[in-house]
């Protein structure tokens, strides 16, 4: 499989959780753990790099609409959490899932994660304790192939610019795109329970932790509404916040609701706010820029365009793919979609547009792709979609079903075992916010605080609706059917290893086996070179059910999650635990999670009694000497034209220090201070942290030298 082709390297993390609130520092610098120069690895002979990450409650105001509680990592947002992507060969206790692979981390305690970085790709790590990703626990990881390993699909993208593409890939810039709510997850979930609703209405869409709350007029909402919205809502149409009303039966279910318990600003009241938007600086001389869109939202499926620029998708959910040249990319929750952008336009600023990709709400967020030397928004800038996500011209969208892995992967031609799931509201529960992945039972968040399945003898655990068992080497089929009348798409993620997406269709899956379905409708299946990913969004449908089939080989023994990546659905029970490889069940070492650094800080010495190699010293390096150019474009003003939000004009001189394609400022690398939401520098509570937020310079000579990485908290109980 793919993992054997890449250098195996040990990555470790010492995580400390802190119950005290920390002061707000930067809210627009992402937690990026990525490719690093050879000189920055802790020693020439070592094969691991330690990082220490401190998680604490703090306050943030990313949209200018008012501060709320968030989980800060080393004093910043967005950042944080645990290894939940990629393979964990030999260390299944480093998956970061409380109740499955570890005990929840308590306040004031620490946990060290170790795992092998053996699969190239763009990944993302985050909390699996309830819905803490909505409070800011997330970050990016980039894994490069080993020196002399497989080449990416660069030649297929542009055979005349392979070196420039490699360099762009080495400096890949993560764009965290997500919905944002003024409520913490606990508050959000309490409102769902009090009102008996499933909330899918956001205050704003933010990019790398910043944005604004835009409010439409009633005329604009009406103009952007699809004709079927009137029927869907019983003639009501969207609310003044451009959301489906809380009593929309088709999406909420036919339950008794307590609408009076829902604050008006959740569904109905929109209060505009103005804040700077994220600016990505690029240089035309580079020829190409590489971006990775990462959906870290709670419930919004998203899509993105860049004015006047096409995108070339070359990596999808942890796997190089056959390149697709597109105008728009869809980004499901948990997705990582890496694209090349050819820098062939006149020097200027161009809007990055991120819109909701569903019927639940008309909403967008904005960023700026700014060429070095730009004086503002291009006068010839042409948007591809409106604020409501409506295409303004004929476009080519990214087609995930055609994302064939590059190089090709071999899928098993038959399955040894098949599981059938029926995604729906939890039957007979009477609660709109409770869900089932299996069809009859919801996975309870109370399991987060129990004894992890990994610590149990599989023979003592009964297989059930929410606990499945497999043996090593088996090929497993998972048939996902989504019940109508509104078959909502669901971004499904599998821990431990990737799966093949071998088939999908509309209607009910009425066959007892996948083989019989394949014989009946061969055009709906692909067993030649199907997508090979760790996450995939099921088909949507109106007035019909839909189905999707995943196939994977059991290669890594452990207790793993299969779940919907929408945090509201995941917390509402849309998950099952799979005990893969029960015939080769691992034994958890007595010191699992024990910090190899005595004090749990980045500059303490290694404890020689730990499993970690003695050759790994503390990581005291500051990263490449890469100060970046900064970016002083910004501004809060903007305008509408023909129903299209043109976004801020970003006049030069506004106070907007942000990352460039070449790196962040030295102050942000050391963590001593950085710019807050108002462009004002403030002290950090973790100035000695070894975790640097930077992209790092790179050249074609060391594109693949990134052989170790670090992760953050799996579960923060505060």
Condensed to tens digits (0 to 9), the pLDDT of residues 239-287 reads 999 999 999 999 999 999 999 999 999 999 999 998 989 999 999 999 9
Contact of 41 with 35, CB cutoff 8 Å: no
Under the phi-then-psi rule, with left for phi > 0, alpha for psi from -120 to 50, and beta for the rest, what region is 29? beta
Give the position of tokens 């908290």.
Answer: 713
Lookup: tokens for 679:
């462009």
35-58 average pLDDT score: 51
Comparison of pLDDT for 679 and 165, the residue scoring more: 165
Query: Is the confidence at residue 53, as pLDDT, over 50?
Result: yes
Q: Write down the pLDDT at residue 478.
A: 98
Q: What is the 3 state secondary structure string of 171-236? A: CCEEEEEEEECCCCHHHHHHHHHHHCCCCCCCCEEEECCECCECCCCHHHHHHHCCCHHHHHCCCC
For the chain, percent of residues with pLDDT exceeding 70: 74
Give CA–CA dist 525/52, Å, rounded. 45
Of the listed ranges 496-500, 501-505, 534-538, 651-655, the least confidently predicted one is 651-655
Query: Is the confidence at residue 404, as pLDDT, over 90?
Result: yes
Domain locations in the chain?
Answer: 185-267, 417-584
Tally of CB atoms within 10 A around 392: 14
Whether the bond into 302 is cis, omega within 30 of 0: no
Average pLDDT of the chain is 78
Give the pLDDT confidence of 168-185 residue by residue, as tens digits.
999 999 999 999 999 999
Pairing of strands 204-207, 575-580: unpaired
For the chain, percent of residues with pLDDT exceeding 90: 61
Query: Is the confidence at residue 638, as pLDDT, over 80?
Result: no
Give CA–CA dist 506/487, Å, rounded. 10
Give CA–CA dist 323/153, Å, rounded. 7
Pairing of strands 138-143, 329-331: unpaired
Q: Write down the pLDDT at residue 89.
A: 58
Q: Write down the pLDDT at residue 145.
A: 81
Comparison of pLDDT for 129 and 296, the residue scoring more: 296
Give CA–CA dist 639/648, Å, rounded. 7
Query: Is the confidence at residue 715, as pLDDT, over 70?
Result: no
Q: Where are the beta strands (DSSP E) in 29-120?
A: 32-33, 48-60, 68-73, 110-116
Main-chain phi, psi angles of 480, to 5 degrees: -100, 115
- pLDDT tier, 593 (very low <50, low <70, confident <90, very high otherwise): confident
- pLDDT tier, 51 (very low <50, low <70, confident <90, very high otherwise): low
Query: Is the confidence at residue 157, as pLDDT, over 70?
Result: yes
Q: Write down the pLDDT at residue 699.
A: 21
Tally of CB atoms within 10 A around 444: 13
Query: Is the confidence at residue 644, as pLDDT, over 50?
Result: no
Q: Write down the pLDDT at residue 460.
A: 97
Q: Where are the beta strands (DSSP E) in 634-679?
A: 638-641, 644-648, 673-675
Cα dist. 99→447, 453, 587 in Å? 5, 6, 16
Query: Which sign does the torsion angle of CA 660, 664, 665, 666 carry?
Result: negative
Query: Is the confidence at residue 555, as pLDDT, over 50?
Result: yes
Give CA–CA dist 254/377, Å, rounded. 47
If you classify domain 417-584 with CATH, what class do you get? mainly beta
Q: Write down the pLDDT at residue 208.
A: 93
Query: Is the confidence at residue 299, as pLDDT, over 60?
Result: yes
Q: Write down the pLDDT at residue 572.
A: 96
Give CA–CA dist 538/536, Å, rounded. 6
Query: Is the confidence at residue 293, as pLDDT, over 90?
Result: yes
Give CA–CA dist 368/353, Å, rounded. 9
Comparison of pLDDT for 596 and 280, the residue scoring more: 280
Query: Is the confidence at residue 427, as pLDDT, over 50?
Result: yes
Query: Is the confidence at residue 659, as pLDDT, over 50?
Result: no
Query: Is the confidence at residue 29, as pLDDT, over 50?
Result: no
Please, how many CA atoms are within 13 Å of residue 109, restricted to the half-sphere of its CB? 13
Give CA–CA dist 199/241, Å, rounded. 13
Of the listed ranges 128-137, 153-162, 358-367, 455-464, the least confidently predicted one is 128-137
Q: Write down the pLDDT at residue 653.
A: 30
Query: Is the confidence at residue 688, as pLDDT, over 90?
Result: no
Contact of 47 with 7, CB cutoff 8 Å: no
Tally of CB atoms within 10 A around 657: 24
For residue 59, which of 30, 25, 32 has the smallest C-alpha distance?
25
Q: Nearest-5° angle of CA 514, CA 516, CA 520?
A: 115
Tally of CB atoms within 10 A around 491: 23
Whether the bond into 485 is cis, omega within 30 of 0: yes
Give CA–CA dist 90/80, Å, rounded. 24
Q: Where are the beta strands (DSSP E) in 507-655?
A: 532-533, 535-537, 541-542, 546-553, 558-564, 575-580, 638-641, 644-648
Query: Is the confidence at residue 324, as pLDDT, over 50?
Result: yes
- pLDDT tier, 685 (very low <50, low <70, confident <90, very high otherwise): very low
Comparison of pLDDT for 41 and 601, the residue scoring more: 601
461-478 average pLDDT score: 97
557-570 average pLDDT score: 97
- pLDDT tier, 486 (very low <50, low <70, confident <90, very high otherwise): confident
Give the pLDDT confidence of 566-583 residue by residue, as tens digits.
999 999 999 999 999 999
Q: In what order do the strands lie in the sheet with 173-180?
A: 204-207, 173-180, 288-295, 336-342, 311-316, 320-326
Q: Nearest-5° angle of CA 294, CA 295, CA 298?
A: 155
For residue 401, which of 324, 301, 338 has the smallest C-alpha distance?
324
Comparison of pLDDT for 673 and 109, the residue scoring more: 109
Question: At 523, is the secondary structure helix, strand, or coil?
Answer: helix
- pLDDT tier, 237 (very low <50, low <70, confident <90, very high otherwise): very high
Query: Is the confidence at residue 398, as pLDDT, over 80?
Result: yes
Question: At 40, is the secondary structure helix, strand, or coil?
Answer: helix
Give CA–CA dist 602/510, Å, rounded. 56
In the beta sheet, which residues pair with residue 477? 418, 551
Query: Is the confidence at residue 709, as pLDDT, over 80?
Result: no
């Amino acid at each position: 499989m793919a993992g054997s082709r890449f250098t195996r390297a040990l990555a470790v993390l010492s995580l400390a959780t802190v119950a005290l609130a920390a002061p707000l520092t930067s809210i627009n610098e992402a937690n990026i753990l990525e490719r690093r120069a050879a000189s920055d690895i802790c020693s020439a002979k070592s094969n691991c790099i330690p990082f220490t990450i401190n998680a604490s409650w703090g306050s943030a105001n990313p949209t200018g609409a008012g501060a709320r509680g968030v989980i800060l990592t080393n004093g910043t947002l967005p950042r944080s959490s645990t290894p939940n992507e990629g393979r964990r060969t030999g260390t299944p206790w480093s998956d970061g899932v409380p109740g499955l692979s570890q005990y929840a981390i308590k306040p004031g305690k620490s946990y060290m994660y170790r795992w092998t970085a053996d699969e190239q790709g763009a990944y993302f790590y985050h909390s699996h304790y309830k819905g803490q990703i909505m409070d800011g626990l997330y970050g990016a990881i980039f894994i490069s192939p080993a020196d002399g390993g497989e080449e990416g699909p660069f030649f297929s993208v542009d055979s005349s610019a392979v070196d420039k593409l490699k360099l762009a890939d080495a400096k890949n810039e993560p764009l965290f795109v997500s919905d944002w709510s003024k409520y913490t997850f606990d508050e959000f979930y309490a409102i769902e329970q009090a009102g008996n609703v499933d909330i899918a209405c956001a205050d704003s869409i933010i990019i790398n932790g910043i944005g604004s709350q835009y409010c439409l007029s009633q005329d604009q909402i009406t103009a952007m509404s699809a004709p079927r919205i009137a029927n869907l809502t019983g003639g009501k149409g969207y609310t003044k916040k451009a959301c489906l009303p809380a009593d929309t039966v088709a999406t909420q279910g036919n339950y008794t609701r307590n609408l009076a318990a829902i604050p008006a600003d959740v569904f109905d009241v929109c209060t505009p706010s103005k804040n700077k938007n994220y600016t990505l600086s690029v240089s035309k001389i580079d020829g190409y820029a590489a971006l990775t869109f990462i959906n870290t939202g709670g419930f919004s499926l998203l899509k993105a365009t860049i004015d006047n620029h096409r995108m070339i998708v070359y990596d999808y959910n942890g796997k190089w793919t056959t390149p697709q040249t597109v105008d728009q990319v869809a980004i499901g929750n948990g997705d990582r979609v890496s694209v090349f952008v050819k820098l062939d336009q006149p020097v200027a600023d161009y809007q990055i547009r991120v819109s909701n990709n569903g019927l639940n709400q008309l909403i967008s967020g904005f960023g700026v792709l700014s060429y070095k030397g730009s004086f503002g928004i291009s006068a010839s800038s042409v948007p591809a979609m409106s604020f409501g996500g409506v295409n303004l011209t004929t476009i080519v969208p990214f087609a995930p079903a055609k994302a064939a892995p590059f190089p090709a992967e071999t899928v098993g031609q038959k399955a040894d075992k098949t599981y059938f799931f029926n995604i729906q509201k939890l039957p007979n529960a009477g609660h709109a916010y409770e869900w089932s992945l299996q069809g009859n039972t919801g996975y309870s968040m109370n399991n987060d605080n129990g004894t992890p399945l990994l610590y149990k003898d599989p023979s003592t655990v009964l297989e059930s609706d929410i606990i499945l068992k497999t043996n090593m080497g088996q090929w497993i089929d998972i048939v996902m059917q989504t019940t109508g009348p509104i078959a909502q798409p669901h971004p499904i993620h599998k821990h431990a290893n990737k799966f093949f997406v071998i088939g999908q269709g509309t209607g009910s899956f009425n066959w007892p086996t996948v083989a019989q379905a394949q014989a009946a409708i061969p055009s709906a299946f692909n067993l030649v070179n199907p997508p090979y990913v760790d996450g995939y969004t099921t088909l949507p449908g109106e007035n019909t059910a839909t189905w999707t089939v995943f196939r994977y080989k059991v290669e890594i023994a452990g207790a793993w999650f299969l779940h919907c990546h929408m945090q509201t659905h995941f917390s509402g029970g849309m998950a099952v635990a799979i005990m893969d490889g029960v015939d080769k069940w691992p034994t958890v070492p007595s010191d699992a999670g024990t910090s190899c650094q005595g004090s749990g800080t980045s500059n303490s010495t290694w404890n020689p009694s730990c499993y970690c190699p003695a050759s790994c010293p503390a990581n005291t390096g500051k990263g490449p000497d890469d100060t970046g150019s900064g970016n002083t474009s910004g501004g809060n003003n903007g305008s509408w034209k023909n129903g299209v939000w043109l976004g801020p004009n970003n006049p030069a001189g506004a106070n907007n220090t942000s990352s460039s394609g070449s790196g962040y400022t030295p102050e942000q690398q050391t963590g001593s201070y950085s710019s807050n939401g108002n462009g004002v520098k403030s002290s950090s509570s973790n100035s000695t942290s070894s975790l640097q937020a930077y992209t790092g310079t790179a050249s074609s000579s060391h594109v693949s030298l990134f052989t170790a990485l670090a992760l953050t908290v799996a579960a923060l109980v505060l």
